[in-house]
Amino acid sequence: NVEPRSVAVFPWHSLVPFLAPSQPD
Amino acid sequence: SPAAPPPALPPYFTKGSIIQLADGELKKVEELRTEDFIQSAEISSDLKIDSSTVERIEDGPRPGIALIQFAVGEHRAQVSVEVRVEYPFFVFGQGWSSCCPDRTSQLFDLPCSKLSVGDVCISLTLRELK
Protein backbone atom coordinates (compact mmCIF):
# COMPACT_ATOMS: atom_id res chain seq x y z
CA ASN A 1 0.00 0.00 0.00
CA VAL A 2 1.17 3.46 -0.83
CA GLU A 3 -0.07 6.11 1.54
CA PRO A 4 -1.15 9.33 -0.08
CA ARG A 5 1.28 12.14 0.64
CA SER A 6 0.46 15.79 0.47
CA VAL A 7 2.95 17.78 -1.55
CA ALA A 8 3.50 21.43 -0.83
CA VAL A 9 2.92 23.74 -3.78
CA PHE A 10 4.47 27.19 -3.58
CA PRO A 11 3.28 30.20 -5.60
CA TRP A 12 5.85 31.51 -8.10
CA HIS A 13 6.07 34.91 -6.45
CA SER A 14 7.36 33.35 -3.20
CA LEU A 15 10.69 32.88 -4.97
CA VAL A 16 11.14 36.46 -6.08
CA PRO A 17 12.20 39.19 -3.66
CA PHE A 18 10.27 42.42 -3.38
CA LEU A 19 12.87 45.12 -3.79
CA ALA A 20 10.62 48.13 -3.96
CA PRO A 21 12.43 51.24 -2.73
CA SER A 22 10.85 53.04 0.15
CA GLN A 23 8.68 55.91 -1.00
CA PRO A 24 9.45 59.37 0.28
CA ASP A 25 6.62 60.92 2.25
CA SER B 1 21.30 46.02 20.43
CA PRO B 2 21.73 42.25 20.05
CA ALA B 3 22.19 40.95 16.53
CA ALA B 4 18.99 39.61 15.02
CA PRO B 5 19.11 35.96 13.99
CA PRO B 6 19.65 35.41 10.28
CA PRO B 7 16.44 35.01 8.32
CA ALA B 8 15.19 31.44 8.16
CA LEU B 9 15.88 29.44 5.04
CA PRO B 10 12.74 29.14 2.95
CA PRO B 11 11.79 25.58 1.93
CA TYR B 12 10.87 26.32 -1.68
CA PHE B 13 14.45 26.59 -2.99
CA THR B 14 15.03 22.90 -2.33
CA LYS B 15 15.46 20.97 -5.58
CA GLY B 16 12.20 19.27 -6.54
CA SER B 17 9.95 21.83 -4.84
CA ILE B 18 6.73 22.29 -6.79
CA ILE B 19 6.08 25.85 -7.92
CA GLN B 20 2.75 27.03 -9.32
CA LEU B 21 2.93 29.63 -12.07
CA ALA B 22 0.24 32.28 -12.48
CA ASP B 23 -1.50 30.25 -15.21
CA GLY B 24 -1.74 27.24 -12.91
CA GLU B 25 1.11 25.26 -14.48
CA LEU B 26 3.29 23.34 -12.03
CA LYS B 27 7.08 23.26 -12.42
CA LYS B 28 9.99 22.17 -10.30
CA VAL B 29 12.02 25.04 -8.90
CA GLU B 30 15.14 23.97 -10.80
CA GLU B 31 13.20 23.98 -14.10
CA LEU B 32 12.01 27.59 -13.89
CA ARG B 33 13.00 29.87 -16.75
CA THR B 34 13.09 33.64 -17.10
CA GLU B 35 9.95 33.44 -19.29
CA ASP B 36 8.01 31.71 -16.49
CA PHE B 37 8.48 34.72 -14.23
CA ILE B 38 7.77 37.25 -16.98
CA GLN B 39 4.60 35.50 -18.14
CA SER B 40 3.38 34.99 -14.59
CA ALA B 41 3.84 38.68 -13.82
CA GLU B 42 2.00 39.61 -17.04
CA ILE B 43 -1.00 37.56 -15.92
CA SER B 44 -0.88 38.91 -12.40
CA SER B 45 -3.09 41.89 -11.67
CA ASP B 46 -1.06 43.23 -8.76
CA LEU B 47 2.57 42.23 -9.34
CA LYS B 48 5.11 43.77 -11.70
CA ILE B 49 8.60 42.52 -12.54
CA ASP B 50 11.48 44.89 -12.09
CA SER B 51 15.06 44.52 -13.24
CA SER B 52 17.38 44.85 -10.27
CA THR B 53 21.07 45.24 -11.10
CA VAL B 54 23.62 44.11 -8.54
CA GLU B 55 25.79 47.14 -7.80
CA ARG B 56 27.77 45.94 -4.79
CA ILE B 57 28.27 42.78 -2.75
CA GLU B 58 29.86 43.08 0.69
CA ASP B 59 30.31 40.94 3.75
CA GLY B 60 27.42 41.42 6.15
CA PRO B 61 27.57 42.18 9.86
CA ARG B 62 27.77 38.48 10.75
CA PRO B 63 29.47 35.45 9.21
CA GLY B 64 27.43 33.87 6.45
CA ILE B 65 25.54 37.08 5.76
CA ALA B 66 26.02 39.24 2.68
CA LEU B 67 24.96 42.80 2.05
CA ILE B 68 23.83 43.27 -1.56
CA GLN B 69 23.07 46.64 -3.09
CA PHE B 70 20.72 46.74 -6.07
CA ALA B 71 19.67 49.43 -8.51
CA VAL B 72 15.96 48.72 -8.90
CA GLY B 73 13.67 49.50 -11.81
CA GLU B 74 13.88 52.15 -14.47
CA HIS B 75 14.70 54.81 -11.89
CA ARG B 76 17.59 52.67 -10.57
CA ALA B 77 16.52 53.26 -6.98
CA GLN B 78 19.15 52.08 -4.52
CA VAL B 79 18.03 49.19 -2.32
CA SER B 80 20.23 47.20 0.06
CA VAL B 81 19.30 43.77 1.34
CA GLU B 82 20.93 41.59 3.96
CA VAL B 83 20.71 37.90 3.06
CA ARG B 84 22.34 34.59 3.85
CA VAL B 85 25.16 33.95 1.37
CA GLU B 86 23.32 30.87 0.06
CA TYR B 87 20.09 32.76 -0.72
CA PRO B 88 19.45 32.41 -4.46
CA PHE B 89 18.29 35.19 -6.76
CA PHE B 90 17.03 34.55 -10.28
CA VAL B 91 19.24 36.31 -12.85
CA PHE B 92 17.67 37.19 -16.22
CA GLY B 93 18.70 34.71 -18.86
CA GLN B 94 20.95 32.82 -16.45
CA GLY B 95 18.89 31.31 -13.64
CA TRP B 96 19.52 30.81 -9.93
CA SER B 97 22.57 32.61 -8.59
CA SER B 98 23.86 33.26 -5.09
CA CYS B 99 26.84 34.80 -3.34
CA CYS B 100 27.99 31.30 -2.40
CA PRO B 101 26.71 28.82 -5.01
CA ASP B 102 28.59 25.90 -3.44
CA ARG B 103 26.67 26.38 -0.22
CA THR B 104 23.37 26.80 -2.10
CA SER B 105 23.99 23.53 -3.92
CA GLN B 106 24.95 21.87 -0.64
CA LEU B 107 21.86 23.06 1.25
CA PHE B 108 19.21 22.97 -1.46
CA ASP B 109 20.72 20.69 -4.09
CA LEU B 110 19.79 23.55 -6.45
CA PRO B 111 22.05 24.19 -9.44
CA CYS B 112 23.32 27.71 -8.92
CA SER B 113 25.76 30.22 -10.43
CA LYS B 114 27.87 32.84 -8.70
CA LEU B 115 26.04 36.13 -8.23
CA SER B 116 28.26 38.96 -9.46
CA VAL B 117 28.22 42.74 -9.73
CA GLY B 118 26.40 43.65 -12.95
CA ASP B 119 24.00 40.70 -12.84
CA VAL B 120 20.38 41.68 -13.46
CA CYS B 121 18.02 39.92 -11.06
CA ILE B 122 14.29 39.48 -11.26
CA SER B 123 12.46 41.31 -8.51
CA LEU B 124 8.87 42.26 -7.90
CA THR B 125 6.97 45.39 -7.04
CA LEU B 126 3.30 45.99 -6.53
CA ARG B 127 1.52 47.50 -9.50
CA GLU B 128 0.16 50.93 -8.86
CA LEU B 129 -3.60 50.67 -8.61
CA LYS B 130 -5.34 53.16 -10.80
Per-residue pLDDT of B91-130, as tens digits, reads 999 999 999 999 999 999 999 999 999 999 999 998 876 5
CA distance A1 to chain B (A): 24
Let me know: does B120 contact B43? Beta carbons within 8 Å: no
Q: According to the model, what pLDDT value does residue A1 have?
A: 67
Q: Do A19 and B36 touch (CB under 8 A)?
A: no
* CA–CA distance, B36 with B41 (Å, rounded to integer): 9
Question: Is the confidence metric ipTM above 0.90 for this complex?
Answer: no
**Which of A9, A13, A20 is closest, CB to CB, to B18?**
A9
Query: For residue B13, which residues of chain A lie inside 8 Å, CB to CB?
Result: 15
Q: Do A16 and B79 touch (CB under 8 A)?
A: no
B102 CB contacts (<8 Å, ≥6 apart)? Answer: none
Burial class (CB in 10 A: 0-12, 13-18, 19+), B64: middle
* CA–CA distance, B64 with B82 (Å, rounded to integer): 10
Give φ, ψ of B21 to 5 degrees.
-80, 170
* CA–CA distance, B98 with B104 (Å, rounded to integer): 7
Q: Do B123 and A18 touch (CB under 8 A)?
A: yes
Task: List, as ranges, residues 1-25 from A with C-beta within 8 Å of B.
Answer: 7-21
* CA–CA distance, B63 with B32 (Å, rounded to integer): 30
**Tens of pLDDT, residue by residue, chain A (25 residues):** 667 677 899 999 999 999 887 655 4
**Which of A9, A14, A17 is closest, CB to CB, to B123?**
A17
